[in-house]
């Protein structure tokens, strides 16, 4: 089975300027994402997809393969779809490994790929883990999801869902956090890029809602929080500070 990983990266960002090129301990964010994803045991090929020559040059210097796309893609998954088309549409699974997760665990990638290899009843699959921390649950940068009993997603939101009118028992999670890793069936990925931006997608700023608004099956891969640690996604200056502290603790770099 051919499993293609693509890391979308662009310079334009609403909250953090030139996010892929932010320096984290001597390495750019996009380089760290690529290095982690490149440790995966299940990916048969890995690319960075970008419309930036600057990102392209930096990635190629560290050995990453790069696909230069247009500036038209609306979202990361749209850029992944364009890159996949440029490559010739030959894969069994295509992963969008979002370019803002510099410490993504390669075992998380492998877990999601194996989940999809063992079943067919999905259009796209994505990982989630339980939230027990009230601050994390309330944070609008934490994307939450509600789902059916069979693990099919109903809705994703930046709001705290399900709303905690009645708090769960202490041993029950407040909700489930979604991580930016998408495993697509190739034909679904291409259809996704042809669809109009959805109403809820536009309101929430969450591309995966486009699939739900068009009745595609989004299956959740339930994983442990430990598999997702440190769980730092680079969206704000505060996230950069967290990442630098983590690097100092684990790599001994200031």
Summarize pLDDT for 31-64 with one digit per residue, the tens.
999 999 999 999 999 999 999 999 999 999 999 9
Identify the pLDDT of residue 239.
Answer: 93
The boundaries of the domain holding residue 149 are 3-251
**Phi, psi (degrees; rounded to nearest 5) at 129:** -145, 155
Residue 129 sits in a domain whose CATH number is 3.90.550.10
**Residues 86-127: tens digit of each pLDDT:** 999 789 999 999 999 999 999 999 999 999 999 989 999 999
Sign, CA dihedral 179-1-35-85, equals negative
Using the 8-state DSSP alphabet, how is residue 63 labeled?
A: T
Say how far residue 44 (Cα) sits from the centre of its chain: 18
How much of the chain is in helix, strand and coil states, percent to nearest 5? 35, 20, 45
Which residue reads 């998380």 in tokens? 108
Identify the pLDDT of residue 116.
Answer: 97
**Residues 173-194: tens digit of each pLDDT:** 999 999 999 999 999 999 999 9
Instruction: Tell whether the model's pLDDT for residue 12 goes beyond 90.
Output: no
Which residue reads 């930096």 in tokens? 58
Identify the pLDDT of residue 32.
Answer: 97
Instruction: Tell whether the model's pLDDT for residue 71 goes beyond 70.
Output: yes
Instruction: Tell whether the model's pLDDT for residue 16 goes beyond 90.
Output: no
Retrieve residue 76's tokens: 């990361």
Q: How many domains does the chain fold into?
A: 1
């Amino acid at each position: 089975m051919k499993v293609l990983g693509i890391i979308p990266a662009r310079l334009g960002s609403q909250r953090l300027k030139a996010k892929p090129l932010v320096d984290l301990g001597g390495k750019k964010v996009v380089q760290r994402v690529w290095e982690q994803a490149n440790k995966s045991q299940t990916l048969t090929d890995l690319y960075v997809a970008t419309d930036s020559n600057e990102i392209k040059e930096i990635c190629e210097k560290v050995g990453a393969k790069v696909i230069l796309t247009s500036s038209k893609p609306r979202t990361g998954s749209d850029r992944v779809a364009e890159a996949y088309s440029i490559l010739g549409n030959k894969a069994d699974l295509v992963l969008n490994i979002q370019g803002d997760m510099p410490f993504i665990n390669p075992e998380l990638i492998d877990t999601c790929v194996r989940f999809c290899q063992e079943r067919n009843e999905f259009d796209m699959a994505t990982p989630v883990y339980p939230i027990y921390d009230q601050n994390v649950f309330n944070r609008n940068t934490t994307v939450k999801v509600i789902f059916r009993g069979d693990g099919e997603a109903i809705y994703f939101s930046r709001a705290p869902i399900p709303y905690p009118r009645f708090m769960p028992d202490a041993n029950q999670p407040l909700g489930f956090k979604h991580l930016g890793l998408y495993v697509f069936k190739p034909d679904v990925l291409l259809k996704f890029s042809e669809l109009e931006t959805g109403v809820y997608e536009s309101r929430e700023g969450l591309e995966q809602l486009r699939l739900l608004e068009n009745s595609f099956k989004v299956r959740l891969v339930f994983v442990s929080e430990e598999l997702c640690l440190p769980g730092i996604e680079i969206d704000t200056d505060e996230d950069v500070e967290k990442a630098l502290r983590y690097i100092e603790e684990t790599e001994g770099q200031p």
